[in-house]
Amino acid sequence: MTNPQKIVIAALSLVAITILAGLGCAIAYLFLGSTALPDTEPEIIARQAPAALAEAPLTPTATPQPTTTSLPPTATPEPTATGTRVVTVTVPPTPTPTRANCEDDINNFEASGLITNEQVQDYLRRTIPLDHLENCREIRYIPQQAAAHGTAISGTFIPVYREIYVYANTASLRGVDDLLDTLVHEVGHNVHYNIRRDNFALDVEWSALYQDSLKTYRETGMGFVSTYAQTNKYEDFAETYMAYVRAPEILKYYNLNKYEFMRQHIFNGFEYEP
């Protein structure tokens, strides 16, 4: 075989090898491409989910609503109530606190036979600063008596649900004035709860006033606007708040320092007529 023939044969062999290699690559590409997983729809949703969740507003957990035939859910009060005004529970703030305002969530007061929902709403709007109802979800009248640890109560503030209940307690609710006293007392609990959450220094100042009142009471019998106010600093705040709004002269007489605390820190200088 001559040299030119050898060159031709080698060239043809190289071309044949190249063609076979190309065909092999094409077959392998087609086979592998047909078994690859596509970018499926669930994967796309999973990538979009975090952004969607971040934009979604927090919705407060639905809470059970009391009916006219059963008492609303209550937690064990701390401490035990010794009067007939209110039971309040000291608990940490709710994980998802609402910024609601119960000005427009006033319910069932017609059942009292003393006052309507609209009249309660009008009284609060004319009398109480609107921000004092912040974080409160509902004010509701319950047309039956209630008690805690065997003690009759006329109202309850439930921090977990941020709701206010006023009960048909015949021992204390003898008329509209008694009902409004209880209602304003409960609003005072809501105000104090907001202070405890948002203004620790102011709550410390109030605690000091409560301790001073205990000392004053032991020495002179003064310092508190009611016997029930001596229960703890929470009831003292609510009773003092109620007295500032409903009976300012009595608060001035029993504790001028507490009157000034309410005037300066809680009501921004506004004073009520006796």
Short-list 160, 146, 170, CA closest to 86? 146
Can you read off the two tokens belonging to residue 79? 């401490």
Query: What is the CATH class of 87-266?
Result: alpha beta
- Listed in sequence order, the DSSP H helices in the chain are 3-35, 41-55, 117-127, 176-198, 200-220, 233-246, 248-254, 256-261
Vertex 76 angle, CA 94 and 194, to 5° = 35
How do beta strands 146-148 and 151-153 pair? Answer: antiparallel
- Write down how long the chain is: 274
pLDDT exceeds 70 at position 267 = yes
Mean pLDDT of 22-30: 57
What's the whole-number mean pLDDT along residues 82-101?
A: 45
Token pair listed for 71: 């008492």
Q: Are 266 and 191 in contact (CB under 8 A)?
A: yes
The pLDDT of residue 82 is above 60: no
Distance CA 251, CA 258 (A): 8
Q: In what order do the strands lie in the sheet with 106-107?
A: 87-88, 155-158, 163-167, 138-142, 106-107
Q: At 5, is the pLDDT very low, low, confident or very high (cuts 50, 70, 90)?
A: low
What burial class does residue 48 get, using C-beta atoms within 10 Å of its C-beta: 0-12 exposed, 13-18 middle, 19+ buried? exposed
Per DSSP bridges, beta strands 106-107 and 138-142 are parallel
What's the whole-number average pLDDT of the chain?
A: 76
Residue in this structure with the two tokens 């003064």, named with its chain if needed: 222
* Domain coordinates in residue numbering, the chain: 3-55, 87-266
pLDDT per residue over 201-216, tens digit each?
A: 999 999 999 999 999 9
pLDDT band of residue 148 (cuts 50, 70, 90) is confident
Sign of the dihedral through C-alpha 252, 253, 256, 262: negative
Neighbours of 129 (CB within 10 A): 14
How far apart are alpha carbons 98 and 124 in whole angstroms?
20
CA–CA distances in Å: residue 89 to residues 7, 105, 233, 235, 274: 102, 22, 12, 11, 31
